[in-house]
Amino acid sequence: MGPLHDSAMARLTKAQQKKYQPTLLRILRNLGVKLERMEEAVLLAQTDGGGDDGEDLGAEGYSRDFQLGLIENEDVILRSVRAALQRIELGTFGTCDGCEELIPPRRLEVVPYTRFCVECKQEAENAGD
Ligand SMILES: [Zn+2]
């Protein structure tokens, strides 16, 4: 009659979790390559700066900031993907960090490195920091 006395959080089976491993590894690889190239581009932009005029660096400075911003975003994703792979090892992949319910498979197909279901993700974003 009462609610199921199940104190354990909802979990995908080990096999279900492992299914996402190749996808995560592929993202990691793709990001790694991209990240390297971008860092290279930023370094080139930086060493290229202290030249003859030194006056009109405005446009270059802007694009450098823009590129650094991109790297930051990719870095966040990179870390999330690594954490997701760790969660597969721990056996907690696919469970929402917020409500401890299963993250819908459709969401995991799109963002396999997410820690939250859609609702908890939105709550986390609204809460700010
Ligand atoms: Zn949740």
Per-residue model confidence as pLDDT tens digits over 21-76? 999 999 988 887 676 777 788 788 876 555 555 555 555 666 777 676 767 788 88
Instruction: Check if the beta carbon of residue 77 is closer than 8 Å to that of residue 113.
Output: yes
Instruction: Quote the ligand 1 centre to 102 CA distance (angstroms).
Output: 8
d(CA 108, CA 104): 7
**30 CA from centroid of ligand 1 (Å):** 28
* Residue in the block written with tokens 């009462």: 2
Distance (angstroms) between ligand 1 centre and the Cα of 116 equals: 5
Domains of the chain and CATH, by start:
14-48+58-127 (1.20.120.910)
Contacts of 96 (CB under 8 A, 6+ apart): 102, 103, 115, 116, 117, 120
What pTM was estimated for this model as a whole? 0.69
Report every protein residue that has its C-beta within 5 angstroms of ion ligand 1. Answer: 96, 98-99, 117, 120
Q: pLDDT tens for residues 87-114? A: 999 999 999 999 999 999 999 999 999 9
